[in-house]
Amino acid sequence: MHDVSETDPTNVLNCSQQRQDELATLLKPYGIEIVHIADDEAIPGSFFGEREAGLIGNKLLLRHDTPIHSALHESGHYICMDPMRRAKLDTDAEGDYDEENGVCYLQILLADHLDNMGKDRMMSDMDSWGYTFRLGSAKAWFEQDAEDAKQWLIDHNIIDVQQKPTWQYRSK
C-alpha cells in the first residue's frame, strides 16, 4: 500500500523522499543523479514547468509533488537520447516520434522496479495526467500497439527481447 501523502488530487503517485531514494537507486546504473528541489521553488530544467521533473545533463530535478511518471519519463529521455544530445542536455530532450514512444514504453517497464508502483499503476497515472494514445489508454497502447516502441528499445540495446532493462543507455 502506498502512503496517501504521496498522492494528489489527480491521484498520481508523487516523488516523496522515499520515492526519490528509490529512484536514485533505480537510475544509478544510467548515471542519473536525483537533485531534490525545495517544495516552494521552481524546478530548473522542467520543460513543462510547475511540478514536472527537470532534466539538465545527468541531473533529474524533483520536488516532493513531482509525479513519478514525470520522473521516469524524463529519465527515459536521458536513457533513450543519442550521446550528442545527452552531452548538451538542458531542459528540452528534443527527440523524434520513435524515441518518444520508446520513452513511454521504457517508463512503463521501469515502473515495475519501484515498490508499489508497477506497470498498471504507471499506465493509470499516465492516463490520469493526460498522456494521449491512439487506442485511448496507455494500457491499450502498451498491450496492443507498441510493438514498434519495444523494437526501437531492443534495437538500441536499452531492453532485451524479454523486455528487461539492460541498464545501459543509448550509445549511438
- Confidence (pLDDT) at 160: 98
Distance of CA 67 to the CA centre of its chain: 10
What strands lie across the sheet with 33-36, from one edge to the other?
33-36, 59-62, 54-56
pTM of the model as a whole: 0.92
Q: Within a 10 A sphere around the Cβ of 28, how many other Cβ atoms? A: 12
> For a pLDDT cut of 70, what percent of the chain falls above it?
94
How far apart are the C-alpha atoms of 77 and 57, rounded to whole Å? 11
Interior CA angle at 57 toward 51 and 61, to 5°?
Answer: 25
pLDDT digits (tens, 9 = 90+) for 121-169: 999 999 999 898 888 999 999 999 999 999 999 999 999 999 999 999 9
Q: Is the pLDDT of residue 78 over 50?
A: yes
